[in-house]
Amino acid sequence: MSGVRTLGVALFAAALATSASAQYFGQNQMQYRNFDFKVLETDHFDIYYYPEERRNVDEVARMAERWYGRFHKLFNHKLSSRQPIIYYASGSDFRQTNVVQGLGEGTGGVTEGMMRRVVLPSAGPLAETDHVLGHELVHAFQYDLGSKGRNALQAVERLPLWFIEGQAEYLSLGPVDSQTAMWLRDAVASNKVPGLKDFNNPRYFPYRWGQAFWAYVGGRWGDEKAIALFREGIRTGNPQDAIKKLFSLDEKEFSKEWKESLHKAYAGFVEAENAPSAYGPLLISEKRGGGELNVGPALSPDGKRVAFLSSRGLVSVDLYLSNAETGKEIRKLASNATNPHFDSLEFIQSAGAWSPDGKLFVNAAIDEELEVLPPRTKPEGQVEQLLADKTDNLPRSPPSPASRTSRT
């Protein structure tokens, strides 16, 4: 990437970062096929696609032009040249790109700064593809605004991720988002709302807290002032200095008013909610039979067992089975680190499915370049067989094994 920052949309929270990296430790960015790219030209975009995407690329073109119209007015800026978009049919195809390196399951799209290329896959639901496309095009405008002067581009590179990524999330999602609201409520409930200087701490996920920052600025001073703040940030390379100049608030004053605003907004919700312990004991955690990351739980039909994905292992996110009453591990069901049938377990925004009788369990995985249903697992024993079906985008929760009849 030649020392130039690459910006993108992440699909997972900060707590997943180390686990996501662990899953790809020692693995190269594999390329399984050559893509026969064509180019669709619109008023402002050159969209690179291949035959599998022909049915979708016109919709992507319409979404891109719609975003351009919004951002052109909002930033009061026209991109200095035609905007390239490299569009892949699926996440597994996207992770084979040679535009940038080091893409994992947690990357939903990326914009590289040298040539301002936007690279993204079809995200499954059209609304999510639209969000990722909008997010990446915000980065394209950010880079183009920064390129107006040599020092300005350097300033963009110096700006913290929460400032850059937060604006992209704010402008592509809007001021209200359920994921961000969950983080804010939790911070208020635990009395751990970060101040402005705390945003640089990696424990505060830049996408969520950055979006909350820009929603606060836009809600209080208006989007015109928010864009002025970004431009001043480009000029100075320092958000605190930009805030001081535009709003006459130093870091402590801004943080105090920001925290008061969040407590006022969420205190009522926090008071009305019960603590998680009111609904039951903690079953699985890093100190109780799991890892730092424990996601995708699927309860067996009889309610006695739970299958879940965990980073408990040292080098990968694996599939485990535990007792649903005690949390005690029964066995590891599958591991991409040791199983030659697939390259990766799909551990983000997914969960497996049980057969009605509770004898079989299936979870999505990646086998070479395609997403597949991996070996059907007998919770009482070993892997039984592979299902032959392959697809570019599996549903987040695979169908019950009982509904699949195709076998190898």
Q: What is the pLDDT along the chain (408 residues), one digit of tens a residue?
A: 333 455 666 544 333 333 333 333 434 556 667 888 999 999 999 999 998 888 889 999 999 999 999 999 999 999 999 999 999 988 778 888 888 877 777 788 999 888 889 999 987 788 999 999 999 999 999 999 987 655 545 667 889 999 999 999 999 999 999 989 999 999 998 899 999 999 999 899 999 999 999 999 999 999 999 999 999 999 888 999 999 999 999 999 999 999 999 999 988 877 767 777 777 888 898 888 888 888 889 999 999 999 999 988 777 788 889 999 999 999 888 776 666 556 666 666 667 888 888 888 887 776 654 444 444 555 554 444 444 344 445 444 444 554 443 222
Q: Tell me, what's the pLDDT at 193?
A: 95
Q: Tell me, what's the pLDDT at 315?
A: 75
Examine domains 1-158 and 294-403 and report if their fold is the same.
Answer: no
User: What is the Cα–Cα distance from 270 to 262, expressed in whole angstroms?
Assistant: 11
Buried-exposed string 378-398: b where 16+ CB fall within 10 A, e elsewhere: ebeeeeeebbebeebbbeeeb
Q: Tell me, what's the pLDDT at 290?
A: 87
Contact 296/309 with Cβ under 8 angstroms?
A: yes
CATH node for 1-158: 3.40.30
Helix ranges (H only) for 302-389 are: none
Cβ–Cβ contacts within 10 Å for residue 96, how many? 16
Q: Tell me, what's the pLDDT at 31?
A: 62
List the domain boundaries for the chain.
Answer: 1-158, 160-275, 294-403
Question: Is pTM beyond 0.85 here?
Answer: no
The angle formed by the CA atoms of residues 267, 268 and 273, to the nearest 5 degrees, is 100
What kind of architecture, by CATH, is found in domain 294-403?
A: 6 Propeller (2.120)
The angle formed by the CA atoms of residues 133, 138 and 144, to the nearest 5 degrees, is 125
338 contacts: CB under 8 Å, gap ≥ 6: none
Burial of 333 (0-12, 13-18, 19+ CB in 10 A): buried
